[in-house]
Amino acid sequence: MSARPASPPAASQTFGQGLDDAWSQAAASLPGGDWLRQIRADALARVIRSGLPGRRDEQWKYADLASKRPTALPPAGAARGPARTLAAVSLAAHHVGIANGRVTRVLEAGSLPDGFEVLRLADALEVPSLWLRPFLEPSGSPIDNLNLAFATDGVLVRVGRGVTVAMPLVVHNSASLSGTMSHDRSAIVLEEGARLTLVEITDADATRDALATSRTAITLARGSNLVHIRLSAGTESAVLVQEGSVELAEGACYAHVALARGAGLLRQQSNVRLSGEGAHCDLACAYAAPAGHQVDLSIALHHAAPRTTSRLLAKGIAARKGRGSVQGRVVVDDGAQGTDSHQMARGLLLEEGAEIFHKPELEIYADDVKCGHGATIASLDPTQMFYLQSRGIPSSQARDMLLEAFVRQVTDHAPEPLRDDLVAWATRYLLQKG
């Protein structure tokens, strides 16, 4: 028999009953068997008690998920037909496909270099594994718990000690979810001195209310290096929530470039912990919020060791009735002397009725640090527009040139071989040209 969570309090009965019904439909078919089913039930009970986060939660003050999804949705079935992809990486790469939370394209073991493993989560869960347990525990995050309760599949990646994976790993994650929800859960582990480039392409397509969550836990051992590119977009009826945690050991380096085109709500939450001396994190994000779309970026950087460094650059564009927000929080522990951290958020309001919010935070307990932040929100510079038009450039073309330059500062953070692909994606999906 499948374990079931305790009955929810009356105040959350509508939402809780919907989740309970969804659990009844899905529990028997979820991977992991009895050993994981009780963990899933515990996670579900926590979600039912807490409900989805909303304005009362400080981290969600700009993205009221509770009001957008007041009732639970049934789990999605397997995707029908080939998955739609938002973009293709022109370089030779290893490709994995996920559709509606299920891995649909896997890599043959013989096609991978020694020391590089890519597995389906559903396959790995057939046998209880101690190394997976830390990624399968309920937490204080309602979204993490919801994802854990219903996750149908995901990708597990391990790069062995000293191994450099020459070609990028590209994960195409698509969801066609009208009136349903899907959840996938992945883990990336780089052992000492390993190097990998990971490209995630995520598309949430819905004609009716839909919810997709994705959870990725990244662990970087001493001296390892991960370049993480993320391209995300959704339709106006879709709510897409992407949560991730990154743990950096001594001398590890994490470089993240994210491009996001809004959905009904596209929420990206990253929690980065620099736990080893000399660890470095560089995050660069650009987003566009067209009419009726919302993008919410929440990034927490926790400096827990000496001489760690972090950089955060976020740039956003909002059209009329579009909404964007960036919350950047930096915490420096008392033992993290020599920390060097800086964050900058810049926003462009293209029309009246557009909204952008910035909320930088610094929480510092050490006395030998260099930390700073900045934030600006403006419209396109009329002086620059006038200069370009005075050179015979039409106003629409001048506008496009300024927007391309604005976003280019983020795409330039990507490695040279991938930069052209990111510029092409940004031009099509962020600037909506072509």
Question: Going residue by residue through the chain (434 aa), what tens digit of pLDDT does each one get?
Answer: 344 444 444 434 467 888 989 999 889 899 998 889 999 999 999 999 998 998 888 889 998 898 877 778 888 888 765 555 555 678 889 999 999 999 998 887 778 889 999 999 999 998 877 788 889 999 999 999 999 999 999 999 999 999 999 999 999 999 888 889 999 999 999 999 999 999 999 998 888 889 999 999 999 999 999 999 999 999 999 999 999 999 999 999 999 999 999 899 999 999 999 999 999 999 999 999 999 999 999 999 999 999 999 999 999 999 999 999 999 999 999 999 999 999 999 999 999 999 999 999 999 999 999 999 999 999 999 999 999 999 999 998 999 999 999 999 999 999 999 999 999 999 999 988 64
For residue 145, the surrounding DSSP H or E stretch is helix 142-150
pTM here is: 0.92
SS3 30: coil
Residue 229 CA to residue 177 CA, distance in Å, equals: 24
- Please check whether residue 75 lies inside any domain of the structure: no
Residue among 382, 323, 317, 375 at smallest CA distance from 353 = 323
Task: Report phi then psi at 126, rounded to 5.
Answer: -65, -30
Q: Give the structural domain span for 338.
A: 80-381
- Please check whether residue 151 lies inside any domain of the structure: yes
- Please check whether residue 164 lies inside any domain of the structure: yes
Residue 412 CA to residue 284 CA, distance in Å, equals: 9
- Please check whether residue 68 lies inside any domain of the structure: no
- 403 in Cβ contact with 373 (< 8 Å): no
- Please check whether residue 335 lies inside any domain of the structure: yes
The domain total for the chain is 1
- 370 in Cβ contact with 336 (< 8 Å): no
Task: Report phi then psi at 320, rounded to 5.
Answer: -60, 130
- Please check whether residue 33 lies inside any domain of the structure: no
- Please check whether residue 197 lies inside any domain of the structure: yes
